[in-house]
Amino acid sequence: MKQLRGKTVVITGAAGGLGSALAEAFVNQGCHLALIDINQLALNTLAEKLQKSDLRISCHYVDLSKTTEIDALPEELMSVHSSIDVIVNNAGMTLQKSAENHCIDDWQRVFGLNFWSAVLMCRALLPLLRQQKTAHIVNLSSMAAFYGLPSQCSYSSSKAAVQAYSESLRAELSGEGIGVSCIYPGAIQTNMIMATLSESDDLEQAQKNLALAQRFGISPDKAAKKILRGIRRNSPCVTIGADAKLFKFISRTFPGLTAMLLARTYSRLTNTTRQCSHTG
């Protein structure tokens, strides 16, 4: 899809850091927007900020964990917009817990938002995409899909599932003029970790991880521009950030070394935590 101007773009998790940056980037390209988020106040604020007289920007307050709300979206969207051309499945969450400390509800929450919402959004809106000569689907995965990260087993697993789903979807839709891009960001300067920070096994380490992402991560605006470029080029995968590119190379070229380094890092961090708790 080389031309974005005049297209209608659906963005989930639109009120978040990357979601709002994507919304602004699409508006700057002359796109109409359907913004989806559960945070009504933040979504309204974003829409007011982006509103231009010649563009349609609609807000849809949806709990993506509820299939019935997603199933109702096509009719709701078409009551405002004349077409749907691009879907960006951006909504996501992470938990910084060990595999042992993940309860069933944790797994269901993370997979529900990271994986199932993307699957259900594609299933619900694919008939609308098929009405266009060209259309595009963007699914947000993560560099955590390249190799499972300790303390983020549900996040890594869900993002790996998004990767496999996107690959299958691209193969199936390639003959219909519908492109599929899977996005693999590294650290981005957003507050995604904040939503579940208090649930972390090691709050101090989680706060350090947040600080590192804020300091060394790529800006949401730069990430959004790379995603738009991926849409124009119909790229099957877009790896964003030097950390993601390096981790992709190392994990695929030296899987044994990757496993050893992750195990040592996790052991060092958990041992330090235990020692501090004993001395405290």
Tell me the catalytic residues.
Answer: 155, 159
On whether the CB atoms of residues 9 and 85 are closer than 8 A, the answer is yes
Burial class (CB in 10 A: 0-12, 13-18, 19+), 22: buried
Is-contact 39 15, C-beta < 8 A? Answer: yes
Residues 6+ apart with CB under 8 A from 210: 191, 193, 194, 197
Nearest-angstrom CA–CA distance, 45 and 33: 14
CA distance 87 to 138: 6
Distance CA 196, CA 214 (A): 16
CB contact at 8 A, 200 and 101: no
**β-pairing, 178-185 with 237-240?**
parallel
Tokens matching residue 254: 């030296």
Give the C-alpha distances (Å, rounded to integers) separating 149 from 97, 143, 144, 193: 11, 10, 6, 15
